[in-house]
Structure 1
Amino acid sequence: MIVKLCFLVILVMTLTVKAQLKTGFYSTSCPTAESIVRSTVVSYFNNDPTIAPALLRLHFHDCFVQGCDGSILIAGFSAERNALTNLGLRGFEVIDNAKSQIEAICPGVVSCADILALAARDAVDLTDGPSWSVPTGRRDGRISLPSQASNLPSPLEPVSVHRQKFAAKGLDDHDLVTLLGAHTIGQTDCRFFSYRMYNFTPTGNADPSINQAFLSQLQVICPKNGNGLRKVALDKDTPAKFDASFFKNVRDGNGVLESDQRLWEDSATRRVVQNYGGIIRGLLGLRFDFEFPKSMIKLSSVDVKTGYDGEIRKVCSKFN
């Protein structure tokens, strides 16, 4: 707790975010907003801890498409959430619940985009990760289209493509690796990486970058022609705890997704992985806990709508 508070103070004093966003934006207009979001996330988390990585992923997908404007929350066949890359997203009901509670107290004040950003922070904190002050003041967007999601990073893409996509959002290699560290509490389906185990090469061999012992474990969980929807933790060691274990797995050839494991093969991203999962073990958790909030604040400030742009939705799943 003391370490987290120290990080909180440092971040508030040293980080520069988009000028229109500020910590405590609702301190006067809706002072209980953040506590309502927190209690709502806690309630869902207590019933289902896997909601934590779901909320974190939901926020990432929102920010990477048109900026952090809540566009991912809009329901409907022609909305962004129905893009192929978004079909596995979860946690919408958490945001809707928090929004309805806040609207009952402070109608038309707190944006859905801000609620999602706050919920993502709380999700990390609840899984023993760092906490931080979330700059707020975002407004909700008025556009949500499946076609807009085409720029989301894919686990099948090389680091070079991810680098370009992150750079287009003002995020560098350090942010790329740090934000992918969120996979320390995530899951994926067998179908998204089974090709690495059975037909990665023209002769049908496995991806040689997979640690052989780990390959055997994965093949038991995801047998050839088995259930492709079966869930697998992206961090084999501490899947429910937000820590630096993910980077040690990548270092040791135990990355599940190909895009995660390729971070070790690119010289620039490898240096960042080494910083988090390398030799100086005593500083691993401390370093990642300090850097992740900074990259999250950068991500959550991408192309935000503030001032008179956009709207403050009454219901997060539909435009006013």
Structure 2
Amino acid sequence: MAALLNLILTFSLLTVGNSLSLNYYHKTCPDAEFIVAKAVKAAKAVDKTVPAALLRMHFHDCFIRSGGPSWDVPKGRKDGRKSKASETVQLPAPTFNISQLQKSFSQRGLSIEDLVALSGGHSLGFSHCSSFRSRIHNFDATHDIDPSINPPFAAKLKSICPLKNQAKNAGTTLDPSSTTFDNTYYKLILQGKSIFSSDQALVDTPKTKKLVTNFATSQEAFYKAFVKSMIKMSSINNGQEVRKDCRVVN
């Protein structure tokens, strides 16, 4: 992964400019996209979790093809000069309700449609117990388990993450097809089988539920919306420089 990031950053050093562009490397390094795509494909062949890691990195940086949609990625993003762990609190948490999610996304110029579409990134990846334990143990004063969870599914999660289990890497995939980018995630939400509270919250308003239902019914509609929202999110670019070494500022 580090080698791949260095490769991408090396290409970035070849040009200058502040705005993103689809032909950013056209003159300076016309094979850049092919080389990066080849590196990602090779990495995925060794480790199927790479697409999820890259997608997560992109989400975090702004706020691939992995059996799913592909698109022309606007290029030329700059790096920031500061990186603070404390700022990660600005990221939408897996415990957020729908109001908190809408506020978090709107503050970055992203719509409700973007919120539901980008949440589909949870089609890939893995979650540790700490991110959803509160839903399956001592949920509130009257419920041990979050009542929005499908009971058999909740029992399965409790077996994976028992109350006194302190295993560091205990957890589960975000959906059964966790290495394939598809619309299974939305189908699970409608069945009450989502992992995070923030996922299940997407059916708490008529508008977001309608979008979830649409994406669960049509994978093509999900792909189209996801690509549109990813391109929009990638334009959130507050960086100042292109680093010579990805590990330190220039």
Length-normalised TM-score, structure 1: 0.69
CA distance, structure 1, for counterparts of residue 81 and residue 140 of structure 2: 45
In the alignment, structure 1 residue 181 sits paired with structure 2 residue 181 = no
CA distance, structure 1, for counterparts of residue 231 and residue 238 of structure 2: 12
Structure 2 match to 1:130: 69
Q: Quick one: which of 208, 229, 233 aligns to 2:169? A: 229
How does 1:199-278 map onto structure 2 within 5 Å? Answer: 199-203=138-142, 205-226=144-165, 227=167, 229-236=169-176, 238-277=177-216
Structure 2 match to 1:311: 241
1:79-130: CA deviations, max 9, x gaps? xxxxxxxxxxxxxxxxxxxxxxxxxxxxxxxxxxxxxxxxxxx2xx1x2110
What's the C-alpha RMSD, in Å, of the aligned pairs?
1.7
CA distance, structure 1, for counterparts of residue 91 and residue 222 of structure 2: 24
Residue 172 of structure 2 aligns to a residue whose secondary structure is strand
**Cα drift, residue 266 of structure 1:** 2.3
**Cα drift, residue 133 of structure 1:** 0.3
Structure 1 match to 2:104: 165
1:43-63: CA deviations, max 9, x gaps? 221111012111100110111
**Cα drift, residue 196 of structure 1:** 1.1
In the alignment, structure 1 residue 154 sits paired with structure 2 residue 93 = yes
Residue 232 of structure 1 aligns to a residue whose secondary structure is strand
**Cα drift, residue 223 of structure 1:** 2.2
1:105-161: CA deviations, max 9, x gaps? xxxxxxxxxxxxxxxxx2xx1x21100001112222222223433311111121111
Contact preservation (8 Å) 1:222, 1:228: no
**Cα drift, residue 235 of structure 1:** 1.2
CA distance, structure 2, for counterparts of residue 132 and residue 234 of structure 1: 24
Contact preservation (8 Å) 1:184, 1:246: yes
> Which shows bigger deviation, 196-205 or 160-169?
196-205
**Cα drift, residue 304 of structure 1:** 4.5
Q: Which structure 1 segments of 5+ residues have no match?
A: 1-18, 65-121
CA distance, structure 1, for counterparts of residue 146 and residue 191 of structure 2: 14
1:207-264: CA deviations, max 9, x gaps? 110011211221222222123631311113x222101110010011001111111111
CA distance, structure 1, for counterparts of residue 168 and residue 86 of structure 2: 26
Length-normalised TM-score, structure 2: 0.87
Contact preservation (8 Å) 1:191, 1:229: no
Q: Which structure 2 segments of 5+ residues have no match?
A: 1-17
Specify the code of the residue in structure 2 equivalent to 1:217.
K
Q: Quick one: which of 128, 137, 142 aligns to 1:198? A: 137
Contact preservation (8 Å) 1:192, 1:257: yes
1:251-296: CA deviations, max 9, x gaps? 110011111111112222112111111xxx4xx1111111111000
For this pair of structures, how many residues does the alignment match? 232
Report sequence identity in percent: 39
Specify the code of the residue in structure 2 equivalent to 1:256.
I
